């Protein structure tokens, strides 16, 4: 009897283009997952509408109802609500918050993030502009396991594109996005298939520790 699909929670803050890629991959059977909830820190996030249209439960928790000094309590409340959906994996797909270490601890090895740079280069924001300003010849996106440090958890995989002399931050972002979608879907499928585990701070793929991220 086949194993049930991997239960996935997706966290977003904006339009949810990576979320839409995951929804399409789930519907087509390309990725053996069941997206059980889409959560956001922004009730107006466009991606919530895409989730609802696909029949997926949504959750919006605005941090504005708590003092800025109480970030840890907000994170604990958000993750407590997500946990009620019993996900096997949490995917941060454009979720624009640094999460509290105590909240992340129970999810170690079960929470990943997709980031639009070749980490460890350019953690944080404005990655495309920073790559252009640095004169890089290659840019890309990365999927990593989430730690308390910003965009610094163990790397699973990346995808690369060559920069063009004519590139702007906008054109570079547009060219990279389809590759980013494919990267995330591939990584989630590997996890669903049981091919990826995080042991300590080392990612294992097919029982072999990775010395560098996989290329997609």
State the Cα–Cα distance between residues 61 and 42, nearest whole angstrom. Answer: 7
Selection from 215, 141, 192 nearest residue 26 by Cα? 192
Marked catalytic residue, from 50, 115, 128, 181: 115
**CA angle, 146 as apex, 175 and 93 as ends, to 5°?**
40
Backbone φ and ψ of 35, nearest 5°: -75, 110
Nearest to 173 by CA among 94, 91, 96, 90: 94
Tokens representing residue 135 in the block: 């004169």
In the three-class reduction of DSSP (H, G, I as helix; E, B as strand; rest coil), residue 71 is classed as: helix
Residue 65 falls in the annotated catalytic set: no
Catalytic residues: 115
């Amino acid at each position: 009897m086949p194993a049930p699909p991997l239960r996935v929670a997706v966290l977003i803050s904006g339009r949810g283009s990576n979320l839409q890629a995951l929804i399409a991959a789930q519907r087509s059977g390309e990725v053996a997952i069941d997206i059980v909830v889409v959560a956001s820190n922004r009730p107006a996030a466009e991606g919530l509408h895409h989730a609802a249209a696909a029949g997926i439960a949504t959750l919006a928790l605005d941090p504005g109802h708590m003092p800025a000094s109480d970030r840890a309590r907000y994170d604990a409340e958000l993750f407590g609500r997500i946990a009620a959906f019993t996900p096997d994996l949490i995917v941060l797909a454009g979720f624009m918050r640094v999460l509290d270490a105590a909240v992340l601890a129970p999810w170690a090895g079960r929470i990943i993030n997709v980031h639009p740079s070749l980490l460890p280069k350019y953690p944080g924001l404005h990655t495309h502009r920073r790559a252009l300003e640095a004169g890089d010849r290659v840019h890309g996106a990365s999927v990593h396991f989430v730690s308390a440090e910003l965009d610094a958890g163990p790397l699973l995989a990346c995808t690369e594109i060559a920069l063009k002399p004519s590139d702007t931050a906008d054109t570079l972002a547009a060219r990279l996005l389809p590759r980013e979608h494919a990267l995330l879907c591939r990584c989630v499928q590997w996890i669903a298939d049981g091919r990826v585990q995080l042991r300590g701070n080392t990612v294992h793929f097919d029982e072999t520790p990775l010395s560098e991220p996989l290329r997609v």
